Amino acid sequence: MNIVAAFKQMRVRPEASSVEQTVSWFRSHMTSQPGVSEADTCRKTTKKEPHSRFLVTQPPRLPIFSGDGKGDVTYDLWRYEVESLQKEEFTPEQISAAVRRSLRGEASRIAMRLGSGTAIEDLLQKMESIYGIVDKPESVLAAFYSARQGKEEDVTTWGCRLEDLISKACQTHPFPTMEQNNMLREVFWSGLKGALKDTTGYLYETIKDFDRLRVAIRRVEKDQEKRRAETAKITPAKAAIDQKCHFEELKGMINQLAGEVERLRDTKVQAPAQGHDRTNRCTEKTVRKDVDQKDEPICRRCNQPGHLRIGCKVRMDHSKHHLNAKKPSSGGR
């Protein structure tokens, strides 16, 4: 309301049909006043911009490479990092310093022998001659086509290993992108483990892109692992029940065998009982007779028990056999 009153007092009618016309009218009205320049008007109507900030860039860093493969990156990965660094906004001096700091062991000695003023391209060429791939393309491709998924290797690791192999083959003999996709897709599925390969045949027939096929097979692998985990949770309880049933079955079999043994023993004892009784009676009589005979004296003349030789009254013939030993014949007197 104060602005409207000020315009009335000044007997001025601004053009306010739009924002642009209003701003233009204000600028023209201010410049029309004596002592006011257009630059002053711009300074008054324009916001003050903040002070410019200067960013201090950190020196580039590269992964450690020594060439012996002990705890550091491989040569191809180190070279990739150097080539990527060359495409960024760093000076050649900064890149050279980063390369020198990343080298260790024998690799640093190679750079030292070349000298501190050696260009990055010359250093990379020397490194390539020492640590680069020397395998023939045929041998790399043979290793690629004969590769198979390991027993403890998941789908992700298996796919990355194939990509690494075909990347080495492309360094000496580049393949078109579509041909690489077909090669990876074919070898990736044909080298899968048996159970996973059998359940993903329809995916291989319908999906023609390698990356999409890998994602689909990873889903199947995850579902199978989830199913195995659920089965592993149920298995201990089921195994305990089966073990208990097996124990009860064995216990029943043992009890049955024990009963059979007892019945056989009873049958064996009862069958010869009568024969044993008769034999026992005869044995008792013989033993009793022997005992009685041992208690009586035995004659040394006739060898009969019950008397001594002095009182022996048995008639003996000339052969010293008692006469009673010869029984008379049935036809005698």
Q: Can you give the pTM of this predicted structure?
A: 0.49
CB 110 within 8 A of CB 127: yes
Distance CA 86, CA 92 (A): 8
Encoded amino acid at 79, one letter: R
What lies within 8 Å, CB to CB, of 306 at 6+ separation is 296, 297, 299
User: Quick one: pLDDT at residue 207?
Assistant: 92
**Tokens representing residue 148 in the block:** 């198979």
User: Quick one: pLDDT at residue 147?
Assistant: 92
CA distances (Å), 33 to each of 12, 30, 38, in order? 13, 5, 10
User: Quick one: pLDDT at residue 134?
Assistant: 84
User: Quick one: pLDDT at residue 245?
Assistant: 73
- Residue count of the chain, please give it: 333
**Tokens representing residue 170 in the block:** 């492309």
User: Quick one: pLDDT at residue 56?
Assistant: 44
User: Quick one: pLDDT at residue 17?
Assistant: 67
Residues of the chain predicted below pLDDT 70: 1-4, 6-19, 26, 29-57, 234-242, 269-295, 317-333
Q: How far is CA 186 from the centre of its chain?
A: 26
Distance CA 243, CA 237 (A): 10
User: Secondary structure of 270-298 in the HEC alphabet?
Assistant: HCCHHHHHHHHHHHHHHHHHHHHHHHCCE
Q: Which residues pair with 316 in a beta bridge?
A: 322
Distance CA 119, CA 90 (A): 15
